[in-house]
Each structure stands twice: as C-alpha cells, then as structure tokens.
C-alpha cells in the first residue's frame, strides 16, 4: 500500500469511489473528467486542502479529503476537517482508511492544528467504532448540517 496525495491520474478511481461507495446522491449528469483532473492538480499545489489516496494494485482504492482551516482562536492555531472517507468495497477491513487517517493526522500536526474534526453520514456502530479505534471521540461534539 502507498499513501499519497491524489493527482489528476486518480480522477477515474476517485469517481468510482465517490459515486459507487460514498454518496447517496449520484450526479444527474455525466462528469467531465478533465475538470476533475484539473481540480486534483490544483489540490496538489494547495497547502491547506488535501485529497489523500491509498493505492494498491496500481489504483486508488481508498481516499480521504481534509481541509486545514486557519483560525484566530486557540492561540491562532488552525484546525483540520476530514470528510469523504471512503474505501472500495473489495479493499475494506485491510487498513487502508486507517492509514489515510493516520497520514491526514500527520499533516494536521505539521500545520500545528489543535484538533482534527471528522464527519460521517453513517450511524452504523461498526463505522463509529472504526473512528473510535482511530482516535476520534464520537460523543464530544455535535455537527449540524444545512444542505444548499
């Protein structure tokens, strides 16, 4: 397994991960993969936003997205927010998502973040236990969502 930042060449693999295994709301129109590739290349140059992938058998089989948010609180220390944690069904229970969360945490520490927040749309106990086992407190804060 290789954990690295995503690049344009990962666009098709990420499309599969996002639209077959992550979202309840698949896009209504065909996705322009050139746009995806360009956005991924922009991410690779952005020191505050990351899409990480775990690569196995030459393809991205798991991914997390993380943003570093600059803050004026906590002695002007930033915080990180993780979303879109997803693993291809055939590669689950093999440590890919844990490795990605570990790498994301390392990046957050390198930015001197005071916390890492993570949101999940799952209420399944196995998913919540996965996050607990990776160091996340489930009941410490509540998240509110307003869809636009």
Q: Look up the CATH number of the domain holding residue 127.
A: 3.40.630.30
Q: Is 139's pLDDT higher than 90?
A: no
- Whole-number percent of the chain with pLDDT over 90: 77
Task: Tell me, yes or no, whether 12 lies in a domain.
Answer: yes
Domain encompassing residue 59: 2-133
- Higher-confidence position of 64 and 146: 64
Helices 96-110 and 125-133 cross at an angle (nearest 10°) of 50
Does residue 86 sit in helix, strand or coil?
strand
In terms of phi and psi (left: phi > 0; alpha: psi -120 to 50; beta: otherwise), the region of 123 is alpha
**pLDDT bucket at 140, cuts 50 / 70 / 90:** confident
Question: If you average pLDDT over residues 56-76, what whole number do you get?
Answer: 97
* C-alpha of 88 from chain center: 13
* Residue 28 confidence (pLDDT): 66
* Residue 25 confidence (pLDDT): 65
Q: Judge contact between 82 and 101, C-beta under 8 A.
A: yes
Task: Tell me, yes or no, whether 63 lies in a domain.
Answer: yes
Q: What are the residues facing 79 on neighbouring strands?
A: 69
Task: Tell me, yes or no, whether 141 lies in a domain.
Answer: no
Task: Tell me, yes or no, whether 142 lies in a domain.
Answer: no
Mean pLDDT highest for which of 17-21, 62-66, 141-145?
62-66
In terms of phi and psi (left: phi > 0; alpha: psi -120 to 50; beta: otherwise), the region of 110 is alpha
pTM score, two decimals?
A: 0.91
* Residue 82 confidence (pLDDT): 97
Task: Tell me, yes or no, whether 73 lies in a domain.
Answer: yes
Average of per-residue pLDDT values in the chain: 92
What total number of domains does the chain contain?
1
HSE-CB at 53 with a 13 A cutoff on CA atoms is 25
**CA 114, CA 98: separation in Å to the nearest integer?**
20
Structure tokens at 5: 């930042």
Task: Tell me, yes or no, whether 38 lies in a domain.
Answer: yes
In terms of phi and psi (left: phi > 0; alpha: psi -120 to 50; beta: otherwise), the region of 136 is beta
pLDDT tens profile 74-115 = 999 999 999 999 999 999 999 999 999 999 999 999 999 999
């Amino acid at each position: 397994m290789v954990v690295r930042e995503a690049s344009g060449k990962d666009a098709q693999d990420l499309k599969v991960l996002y639209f077959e295994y992550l979202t309840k709301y698949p896009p209504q129109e065909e996705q322009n993969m050139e746009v995806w590739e360009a956005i991924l290349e922009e991410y690779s140059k952005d020191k505050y936003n990351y899409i990480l992938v775990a690569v196995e058998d030459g393809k991205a089989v798991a991914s997390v997205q993380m943003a570093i948010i600059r803050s004026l609180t906590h002695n002007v220390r930033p915080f990180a927010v993780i979303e879109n944690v997803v693993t291809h069904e055939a590669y689950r229970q093999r440590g890919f998502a844990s490795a990605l969360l570990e790498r994301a945490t390392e990046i957050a520490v390198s930015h001197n973040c005071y916390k890492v927040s993570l949101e999940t749309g799952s209420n399944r106990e196995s998913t919540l236990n996965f996050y607990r086992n990776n160091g996340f407190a489930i009941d410490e804060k509540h998240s509110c969502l307003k869809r636009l």
